Structure 1
């Protein structure tokens, strides 16, 4: 499609699924297409970031998508080009005059305390609407955008002209969060060091770069209202003819209640499955992931796998002394399909990072009992083998099969990541680097801050030669 249409960059391809009233769904395999006729829509990655609808049950892209998530906050990452908001009328007037003077003779504006406070307040609001806990790179990005739009605000003696703006903005964000915390914002209240709860040690902020980690209830909705919606949804999902679109809409409405139960009460997976059975379907896992992060679950993982595939396999071959990596690379000599390469990359990650792959991946015989598959496995993937063929791939959480009949290993890893986010489950300590690479390198979520080991690996991946 790239060649035919003359397009560059990453693409997102969707098709009208006849099983879901011709709703647009992300295409991950050609086998999903209808046999008679297929209607496709193609988006570039830039288009995806602008139009992704985190509220639809398909997590599909749409130009008519809703602008806000279930908590009323915008469910989007900070845009690549940050748009500086409009300040108060008097501040805008002074800035306009200051910019004219700067372009004329390079004069820098001497701003008052009131003016600086107004600028920082508006910037803090704009940042918070997308991410309440921005990283260092966000402050750099916004400070640069401010100076680019209003060069009269440059700092004399500063190399880049925005160094102090960055730190002032960081302090202003802290004050802004404190005001919202006092006003009763749920996520900020729980993360407060003065709340009297053990929150800072057990909950803390969104640790996996979630955008909607713990939203407030929608305006006009109480907990009892949302619980009634949940009960109605449980009844509907037991019906023989399932209205998937309606279930998706109800899942979106009840999202704040679900997050409250999962995050605050630390509910066991079995209990969550009993109260929220709709959450444990592939489409709903993808939709929940989109609500939390604004990212396309399968799309982001598969795109990252394909981007780094060749380079990872080269790195694997260099470590020929590692038995597991040698075996994986040899298997590709017989079958070098894209799915096999993706699987080899994922299976090889723990070996390459010197972590135990058996803690994450397990291969069992079809004749084995299920309790043998899951024994001792809190987070992992089980591949069921019959002869030489893999007949089933399942996701295991808390020693129980949560999702089965997955078509391949990459899809299972995507579903596992989606469930870890949706159920607020920490990555296993013995596999912390493997999951960090999957999230921050392959899926490119929260990659601005990573461990030194993962940062070094990313640098090696970006080098053209060994």
Structure 2
């Protein structure tokens, strides 16, 4: 999330005025009687004033007039000019960054908050199983003896592993299941399988079948993201399509693929909220906070209409019924709801990676003849002057 503060420090009266943008188009004014004595104090005051919108860890950057307004990290309050523009950047390591940048998440509507991790976190099992594993790991370290599990103990391990895997993805791929099995053996080496080339191949197959059984339980309980694939070919429906055909599941970075409706809501009530959004967007003075709240609540309805009801609907028709999706703030917010990734930060980070190559390509075009090349040469001459001034 990014918020912008305009700071005006009246030295004679020691009054600091701040205009805080908690979203792209939403601003709040804050007046301080005295200038903060440190960066930490400024951050603390701002957090306290605008809870819960800024209830996360962030850093401050300011536009340095000595370098043409380039952003610099604010590490000392004395570096802050008398009139400055500050930018609040959410810390990437902040645990609360799973929430959206512009609105508060509804836990019952968006249950999945994280994509598949690089290192799979092995969960804790029941007390009895954990006690046996602790003793088994100690014996394995001493005499390399494998632990022999009872049927109930193995069931407890597979059930908890399946729950943790589902918390990241309902349909994990073969490599992801393999990484989960490898993580289990790494944490509990006493579970290593003798005769297996990797020591965890049998666990991988067990987890694969357990995930299928776990999805069946969830489907019967009404979990939309797996229930959408039920009702296919079976003994009772021999004419239906194959259960392995056209499976609707998350692709790439999608995290909240097809969530259930919020508690107390149904399709008709959410459709009524959608009409409220259309009415609010059509106003000259839009209440952006109301739009964000309603867009968050109706997220599950939009996903159902896209994935289940009418997946072939034209984009033009979709946007006509949901005009809020044309707002820049809502484009970023919807991207975050689906992927839990900050669109602006991700775009800028990827752009920084490719900037050197893009500059090289455009320099080659600038060496040619024509109006475009002439315009590029003018841009690069100004850019090179700025680079020389900063060195």
Fold match (TM-score > 0.5): yes
Partner residue in 1 for 2:223: 185
Q: What does 1:135-214 correspond to in 2, within 5 Å? A: 135-192=173-230, 194=232, 196=240, 204-214=248-258
Partner residue in 2 for 1:284: 330
Residue 88 (structure 2) pairs with residue 41 (structure 1)? yes
CA contact (8 A) 2:62 2:86 kept: no
CA contact (8 A) 1:54 1:287 kept: no
Deviations 1:30-88 (A, max 9, x none): 7999x94334334454x15x332444536xxxxxx65x655342221133443222212
Larger Rg: 2
CA distance in 2, matches of 1:79, 1:189: 25
CA distance in 2, matches of 1:28, 1:257: 38
Partner residue in 1 for 2:4: 15
Gaps of 5+ in 1: 1-11, 59-64, 318-324, 340-466
Partner residue in 2 for 1:272: 318
Q: What does 1:380-395 correspond to in 2, within 5 Å? A: none
Q: What does 1:36-435 correspond to in 2, within 5 Å? A: 36-45=83-92, 47=93, 50-57=95-102, 66=105, 69=107, 71-192=109-230, 194=232, 196=240, 204-264=248-308, 265-266=310-311, 267-310=313-356, 327=365, 335=379
CA contact (8 A) 1:70 1:256 kept: no
Task: From the superposition, tell whether residues 198 and 175 of structure 1 become closer, same or farther in structure 2 (CA, over 3 Å).
Answer: closer
CA contact (8 A) 1:56 1:248 kept: no
Partner residue in 2 for 1:360: none
Deviations 1:245-283 (A, max 9, x none): 221121111101111112222333233223211122111
Shift of 1:304: 2.0
Deviations 1:81-138 (A, max 9, x none): 4322221222222112212212333221112232222211111111111211223342
CA distance in 2, matches of 1:328, 1:187: 51
CA distance in 1, matches of 2:120, 2:4: 32
Deviations 1:193-223 (A, max 9, x none): 7174799766632234311111111222111
CA contact (8 A) 2:159 2:210 kept: yes
Task: From the superposition, tell whether residues 268 and 157 of structure 1 become closer, same or farther in structure 2 (CA, over 3 Å).
Answer: same
Deviations 1:159-213 (A, max 9, x none): 4432322222122112211221232222222234717479976663223431111
CA distance in 2, matches of 1:199, 1:167: 19
Shift of 1:242: 1.9
Partner residue in 2 for 1:461: none
Counterpart secondary structure, 1:40: strand
CA distance in 1, matches of 2:337, 2:280: 22
Counterpart secondary structure, 1:300: helix
Q: How many matched pairs?
A: 309
Scaled by the length of structure 2, the TM-score of the pair is 0.67
CA distance in 1, matches of 2:241, 2:366: 48
What is the aligned-residue RMSD (CA, Å)? 3.8
